[in-house]
Amino acid sequence: MKQISRIDKEALEFILGASRSSHPKEFAGVLRATGDTVKEVLLLPGTISSGRSAVLKLHMMPIDPTACGTVHSHPSPNASPSGEDLALFAKHGRVHIIAAAPYNEHSWKAYNHRGKEISLEVVG
């Protein structure tokens, strides 16, 4: 299992744009990677979002070996994970992204499955 260390610029732009479009509700999806690079976001049917949380219906996820973690937005400027976020990180995937308002290239952070902040190089 290869460590995820990069994110495709188009995938990041999609995340930030979807987060802006969803504001003031949270946006959520599943990250997909090829090799060491996050390439896509999978949107799951039945995802519920509000201004306080987003609920991914993980039972709706297809069997997908490229799934590597989750992404969601925070409608505040705080990109730190909550207790609920940390519980999700521990159970589902290796890399997780939180995009915070104002949803630009400086307002997102990536975390490993333990909730430790990690660096993802933007490529492409």
Annotated catalytic residues are: 26
DSSP letter (8 states) at residue 97? E
Query: Cα–Cα distance between 86 and 17 in angstroms, integer?
Result: 24
Closest CA to 31 of 78, 64, 57, 76: 64
27, 16 in Cβ contact below 8 A?
A: no
By the 10 Å C-beta count (0-12 exposed, 13-18 middle, 19+ buried), 86 is classed as middle
Query: Cα–Cα distance between 18 and 16 in angstroms, integer?
Result: 6
